[in-house]
Structure 1
Amino acid sequence: MRSKWDFNFVKASKYCFTFSIVITLLGAIMLGVLGLNYGVDFSAGSNVDISVNKPVAQGDVEQFLQEQGFEKIPPIIVGADRVTIRFPEVLNDQQEHKLKEDFSAKFDAGASYEVNTVDVEMAKELQRNALIAVLLASVGIIIYVSIRFEWRFAIAAIVSLLHVAFFVISIFSVFRLEVNLPFIIAILTIIGYAINDTVVIFDRIRENLRFAKIKGRDDLVKLVNRSVSQSMTRSVNTVLTVLFVAVCLFVFGSESIRLFSLAMVIGLICGAYSSIFIASPLWVLLKDKQKPKAKTAAKATT
């Protein structure tokens, strides 16, 4: 069965592998040099969200904090009806009370406040739990794909997923975007969508394998190209549907979910690319290494 997506995906993957390796190395270097810009969830401090009834200029907030005695101005996000201040240190009760009282007196008497404080031990525990969550998700995917398909599919799938997750993390590191709990949720959600795309393609490969006569690598390449082509319409439609929602959330959503939406947008695009140009061609490489062994064993039996 021919598809309108008639393209040699395996051949193109040579360039995609090179591109992905370069991006991965650059990402590793940037992470080693810059690290991640952890939010309050993963670093000790206090996050103050202030809902205001009238616009407040960021410069005025910075001047206000200087008047409060903060020598180093903490990160500030100013929206139409919300001001978010992330203090790298934990505010005590006296500092918190004075901040609220003085802000209301200077900017908006009707302002409401939400203060989230994370101490050092809690921040370390959240970091550890986030890493465990990603590792457990990866192990679960390996087990699931190995049972449903075979171990070569599992290795190709997990390499593809780790590539997606690492790419998003690298982007956030390079541009110093804040990493918090919603970001971890976005990573796990992206992994879920990416594995769905990958499993759809792998399932088509498995179905086509039942009726194919594989004599060499060229037959494997043709089979994978045909399988990806047959799955392309479904994969593209699924990604575009979710991508449209993620873009709308990023453009029209509040400040609190903007970085979550951005991570979703980047991850969905990278996930679609990785499922098509990384996972399936990688399976071809792993499967092709099996062929000589099978032939040698057949000759020995003869």
Structure 2
Amino acid sequence: MTGPDNKAAGDSAVLDADKAQPGADADFVADRDRSFLSRLYTGTGAFEIVGRRRMWYGVTAAILLICLASIGIRGFTLGIDFEGGTQMSVPVVSSEITAESVEEVVTAALGEAPESVQTAGAGGSQTIQVRTETLDLAEAESVTRALADEFGPELAPAEVSISDVSSTWGNEITERMLIALAVFLVIVFVYIAVRFDREMSVAAMGSLFFDLIVTAGIYSLVGWEVTPATVIGLLTILGFSIYDTVVVFDKISENTRSVLQTTRRTYAEQANLGVNQTLMRSINTTVISVLPIIALMIIAVWLLGVGTLKDLGLIQLVGVIVGAYSSIFLAAPLLATLKERRPDVARHTEKVLRRRAAVESGVPVGDARPVRTHRRGETVDTDDADRAVPTGKRRRNR
């Protein structure tokens, strides 16, 4: 027989074993005594992201509501490729040619203000880009003569470039983008479901839809012009987002591979540890991705004046930041929520919490390994916390 003292000693040994092996993920205790940067760099699990998933769900829902409201109320500022119209390019051949002076001349010639007037390029290649509704031949000639009369003799009528843009091309680009987007989502869903599991695939899809809606909502809120380059760039940022999400999921899958065989940590806690272990990597990847995009935008806007590069860089800048947020604060918490809906994970979570409650209340518990028993023809998993405490002695077969 084993006395109460031996049982208490056995319980103490179990509790010490929980803390004695900090190298094992299942036994790891988050170190919250270190500095912020130290915890961020070492990935000790001290940042409670999955555990505070309701807060992040609230933040995510608020962002989505704002973006959806802006899309529904304000809509988008579509470029000329989507709406159609006339594009005029006026070279800056003298100091008198500015965006304001060109706008005044065009307004006087047409009797209405142009839709947009922008300066593009720098130095000798600088031009004034004017966008108006579709002009007929007489209106185009009238504007050209007015500009030549105002800024001549430096500006000749032949130097003013006027072209009509149809909305058909922009609509074709959008249609093809939607087809490519659908194919991309199907391939990603199948790949993650095969490589990991169904819950991870659903969580990744939720993260991608968040990226799409928020990126579009930011464009709607700020009023940035949507061009074909914007549509193309949207597919690029989805690739970055899914890459970052797969990296996080791979670490979570590694941490939770045998989580149901232990009663020390829940699935959500192991998932949170995986997020912490990849947090610094996600931040580094985002920063490294953002820096060349900013450089691209600076070169495009201030040096070359190439509007296509600016549009492409802008959509990528927004998408990279939104994708980093979704892979950390949405995909991983959503995965934990989906997993806990499974009966085996839910039972395991309850078992872990019950074991901890028993330890905190001073009730002796064992190693809490699941044991298979037979009850009226059924096979039932029970917990050592519900049975007698092991004495540490091996039982002999009689």
Give the TM interval when normalised to the shorter protein: 0.7 to 0.9
What is residue 275 of structure 1 aligned with on the other side?
A: 327
The CA deviation string for residues 164-211 of structure 1, in whole angstroms up to 9 with x for no partner, is: 121111111112110111111221111111111001111111222224
**Shift in CA distance, 117/265, structure 1 to aligned 2, threshold 3 Å:** same
Q: Secondary structure at the match of 1:46?
A: strand
Change (3 A) 1:215 1:37: farther
- Structure in which a larger fraction of residues adopt helix: 1
Matches within 5 A, 1:133-172: 133-172=180-219
Name the residue aligned to 1:233: 280
Question: C-alpha distance in 1, partners of 2:312/2:48?
Answer: 34
Q: Which moved more, 1:66-75 or 1:49-58?
A: 49-58
Cα distance in structure 2, aligned partners of 1:216 and 1:25? 39
Distance 1:223 1:148 in 2: 19
Matched, 1:266 2:318: yes
Q: Alpha-carbon deviations, 1:123-182, whole Å to 9, x = none? A: 433333333333332222212222221221111111111111211111111121101111
User: Match for 1:23 among 54, 57, 63?
Assistant: 63
Q: Helix, strand or coil: the match of 2:87?
A: strand
> More deviation in 137-146 or 15-24?
137-146
Match of 2:255 in 1: 208
Equivalent runs, 1:101-140 vs 2, <5 Å: 102-103=146-147, 106-107=150-151, 109=155, 117-140=164-187
| Contact in 2 for aligned 1:43/1:124 (Cα 8 Å) | no
2:233–2:315: 8 Å Cα contact kept in structure 1?
Answer: yes
| Cross-structure match for 2:127 | 82
Q: Tell me the equivalent position of 1:63.
A: 104
The corresponding residue for 1:91 is: 135
Q: 2:42 matched to which residue of 1?
A: 4
Percent identical residues? 26
Q: 1:210 to 1:61 in 2, by over 3 A?
A: same
Runs of 4+ in 1 over 6 A off after TM superposition: none
CA RMSD after TM alignment: 2.9
State how far apart, in whole Å, the 1-side matches of 2:127 and 2:201 are: 45
- Alignment partners' CA distance in 2, 1:27 and 1:227: 30
Superposition deviation, residue 228 in structure 1:
1.3
1:214–1:220 Cα contact (<8 Å) kept = no
Q: Specify the SS of the correspondent of 1:8.
A: coil
In 2, distance between residues paired with 1:84 and 1:216? 67
d(CA) in 1 for partners of 2:48, 2:215: 27
Counterparts of 1:167 and 1:261 in 2: how far apart (Å)? 17
**Structure (1 or 2) with the larger CA radius of gyration:** 2
Residues 1:52 and 2:96 are matched in the alignment: no
After TM superposition, the score normalised by the length of structure 1 is 0.86
AA paired with 1:71?
A: E
Give CA-to-partner distance per residue, 1:251-287, whole Å, 9 cap, x none: 3322403233222222211111110010011000001
Residues matched between the structures, number = 300
The alpha carbon displacement at 1:96 in A equals 4.2
CA contact (8 A) 1:90 1:119 kept: no
Asked whether the equivalents of residues 174 and 231 of structure 2 are also in contact (C-alpha less than 8 Å), the reply is no
Which residue identity lines up with residue 264 of structure 1 in the other structure? Q
Q: Which range moved further: 135-144 or 195-204?
A: 135-144
2:12 corresponding residue in structure 1: none
Give the structure 2 partner of residue 245 of structure 1.
Answer: 292
Offset, 1:97: 5.2
Q: Which amino acid aligns with 1:85?
A: V
**Cα–Cα, structure 1 residues 94 and 262, in superposed 2: closer, same or farther, change >3 Å?**
same
Q: Report the residue type matching 1:192 in the other structure.
A: G
Of 123-132 and 273-282, the range deviating more from structure 2: 123-132
